[in-house]
Amino acid sequence: MLYGVSYYPEQKDKDELQRDLTLIKESGINTVRMGEFAWSRLEPEEGRFVPDWLDEVVETLGQAGIRTIICTPTACPPAWLVTGCPEIRYQDNRGVVRPFGGRRHYCYNNDRYREACARIARRLGEHYGKNPYVAGFQIDNEPAQEGTGRCTCPVCRKKFSLWLEKKYGTIETFNQRSGSVFWSQEYQSFDQITPPVNTIEPGAQNLINAFYENPLVRLDFERFSSDSQIAFQNIQTAVLREYTDHPVTTNATGLATNSIDYYKSTKALDCYAFDYYPGLRNARVDSFPYAFARGVKEGAPFWVLEFMSGGGHRLSGSGRLQPNPGALKQAVVQAFAHGAQALLHFQYRTFPYGAEQLNYAIVDMDGIPRRRYREMKETAALLQKLEPLEQAAFPSQAGILLDYDTHWALRIKPVNDPCFTYLDYANKRYHSLERIGINADVLSFHAAWETYKVLLLPAAFLLDTDTINRLRAYVNKGGILIATFLTGVKNEDNAGYTQPLPAGLTDVFGVRVEEVEPVFEENHTTYTITLPGKQDGGEEQPENEDEVLTVKDGLWSELLSGTGKPLGVYREDYKQGSMVLSENQYGAGKAYYVGTDMPEETWQHFLRAVCDPVCPSYRQIAVPDGVECVVRFLQGRRIYFLFNFAGANRKITGCRGYRNYITQMPAADEEEMGKNGYLILEEEKHG
CA 197 – CA 185 distance, rounded (Å): 15
Query: Is 306 assigned a catalytic role?
Result: yes
Q: 569-615: per-residue pLDDT in tens?
A: 999 999 999 999 999 999 999 999 999 999 999 999 999 999 999 99
Q: Flag whether pLDDT at 418 surpasses 90.
A: no
Residue 156 — left, alpha, or beta (φ > 0 → left; ψ -120 to 50 → alpha)? alpha
Quick check: 538 pLDDT over 50?
A: no
Nearest Cα to Cα of residue 628 among 615, 645, 610: 645
- The domains of the chain, with CATH numbers, are 2-150+223-390 (3.20.20.80), 154-222 (no CATH), 398-611 (3.40.50.880), 627-683 (2.60.40.1180)
- Residue 573's contacts (CB-CB under 8 Å, 6 or more residues apart) are 525
DSSP-assigned beta bridge partners for residue 508: none
Say whether pLDDT at 546 is over 60. Answer: no
pLDDT at 541 over 70: no
- Percent of the chain at pLDDT > 90 equals 91
Beta bridge partners of 526: 552
Indicate which residue of 306, 356, 558, 682 is catalytic: 306
Q: How far is CA 329 from CA 274, 373, 523, 672, in A?
A: 19, 11, 46, 18
The Cα-based distances of 9 to 14, 20, 42, 61 in angstroms read 9, 9, 12, 12
Q: Which helix (H) or strand (E) holds 380?
A: helix 371-386
Q: Reply yes or no on whether the pLDDT at 543 is more than 60.
A: no
Indicate the average pLDDT of the chain. Answer: 95
Query: Which residue type is seen at 320?
Result: R
Average confidence (pLDDT) over 550-573? 97
Catalytic residue among 10, 43, 142, 356: 142
Q: How confident is the model at residue 50 (pLDDT cuts 50, 70, 90)?
A: very high
- Asked if 32 and 68 touch (Cβ cutoff 8 Å), the reply is yes
How far apart CA 563 and CA 511 sit, in angstroms, is 6
* Res 530: pLDDT: 96
What DSSP assignment string belongs to 584-642?
Answer: EEETTEEEEEE-B---HHHHHHHHHHHHTTTS-----SB--TTEEEEEEEETTEEEEEE
Residues 311-365 have pLDDT tens digits of: 988 877 788 899 999 999 999 999 999 999 999 999 999 999 998 999 999 999 9
**671 in catalytic set:** no
How far apart are alpha carbons 490 and 501 in whole angstroms? 9
> Mean pLDDT across the stretch 151-155?
97
Residue 274 — very low, low, confident or very high, per pLDDT cuts 50/70/90?
very high
Please determine, for residue 544, whether its predicted confidence score (pLDDT) is greater than 60: no
The two counts, helices (H) then strands (E), for the chain are 17, 30
State the pLDDT at residue 318.
Answer: 81
